[in-house]
Amino acid sequence: MLQNVVAVVLDGVHPFELGVVCEVFGLDRGDEGLPVYDFAVVSAEGRELSTHAGFGLVADPDLSRLEQADLIAVPAGDSYAVRDFPPELLAALRAAVDRGATVLSVCAGVFVLAAAGLLDGRRCAAHWRHTEELARRYPRAQVEGDVLYVDDTGVVTSAGTAAGIDACLHLVRKEQGTAVANGIARRMVVPPHREGGQAQYVDRPLPRAKTDTVGQVLSWMERHLDREVTIEDLAARAHMSPRTFARRFQQETGTTPYRWLLGQRVLLARELLEGTDETIDAISVRAGFGNAATLRHHFARWTGTTPHAYRRAFAGSRFAGSTQGRGELRD
């Protein structure tokens, strides 16, 4: 369940990283049919705090709000890599994870989770500037410096400011489905998925980098996901040689045409599984996989689950049983 969300701040908090959490979970988007979260910001170090941008911040210093939170987010702040943290905050974070809540760090907020012992034996993400220090100070943490975020059994860590958005949207997608995550992303005018050349732990999102020369081809690919295409076909559309096109595509999206296309097809399959009662066979054709076996293969590799299990988790009872007796291939 994801409804009660709390951001906990410390002296020296970075406003932008705090703003990431506030933007995803703190706005009322109910007029668009999106969830409205019970959101609060609380302080772990008194009512009045400083920010690294030079202005002050006032927040409720009552940490009891953490006791009921479904998600506790810890934004980055100044000197988090080398400072100590309030013991009562660390205890509250441990208690939250023990009762099944999720904790999330944005950028240097990972040091707070590490100090609480929550990264011991867990994989975690960190900004490239902090990976060595994090690994040195907390050798039991499995630091991965080449990922945008990691979700490891209720502890979510993100590598930087934009990666914090990725991690927040990942949690929304995980708990409430692709349609909700996409709706929030559209309001924020950010990509619902990113890859940027970095593999991610749970999802392998789709790149949305600046595209100077392959943008029109990307648009065409998105509109024709059900078509079989070759690198030669795509290069011809861009008026380039296949080798030049492949190089430009990698430079501008951070991935290969093949992986980009697979990611788009998996995303479409997820949306169809959530929002329609079409059979797995029909979805495999619409999403460009051709048959259910190929869809299951790639879907499992990208999401860690099967199409049928994904539909059961995210479509709920809306379409349960609606495909019975219609020849659907089961996972």
Q: With helix as H, strand as E and coil as C, how does 97-114 read?
A: HHCCCEEEEEHHHHHHHH
Quick check: is 58 in a domain? yes
Quick check: is 282 in a domain? yes
Q: Check which CATH number belongs to the domain holding 83 and give it.
A: 3.40.50.880
Q: Are residues 241 and 182 in the same domain?
A: no
Q: What is the pLDDT of residues 90-100, one digit of tens each?
A: 999 999 999 99
Element (H, E) at 161: helix 161-176
What angle separates helix 292-303 from helix 257-275, to the nearest 10 degrees?
100
Q: Are residues 183 and 52 in the same domain?
A: yes
Q: What is the pLDDT of residues 216-242, one digit of tens each?
A: 888 899 889 999 999 999 999 999 999
pLDDT band at 329; cut points 50, 70, 90: very low
Q: Are residues 79 and 170 in the same domain?
A: yes
Q: Are residues 19 and 159 in the same domain?
A: yes
* Distance of alpha carbon 155 from alpha carbon 240, whole angstroms: 45
Residue 149 has pLDDT above 70, yes or no: yes
As separate numbers, helices (DSSP H) first and strands (DSSP E) second, the chain gives 13, 10
Quick check: is 201 in a domain? no
Quick check: is 194 in a domain? no
Contact (Cβ atoms closer than 8 angstroms) between residue 277 and residue 328: no
Give the CA distances from residue 310 to residues 119, 174, 300, in Å, rounded to whole numbers and listed in that order: 28, 10, 10
pTM score above 0.85:
no
Q: Check which CATH number belongs to the domain holding 320 and give it.
A: 1.10.10.60
Tokens read off for 143: 């630091």
Q: Are residues 156 and 231 in the same domain?
A: no
Q: Are residues 172 and 279 in the same domain?
A: no
Q: Which domain holds residue 136?
A: 4-188
Quick check: is 204 in a domain? no
Tell me what the mean pLDDT of segment 102-125 comes to. 97
- Give the count of alpha carbons within 13 A of 56, CB side only: 6
Q: Are residues 38 and 68 in the same domain?
A: yes
Quick check: is 199 in a domain? no
**β-strands 155-158, 149-152 pairing:** antiparallel
Q: How many domains does the chain have?
A: 2
Quick check: is 81 in a domain? yes
**How big is the CA angle at 30 (ends 24 and 32), to the nearest 5 degrees?**
95
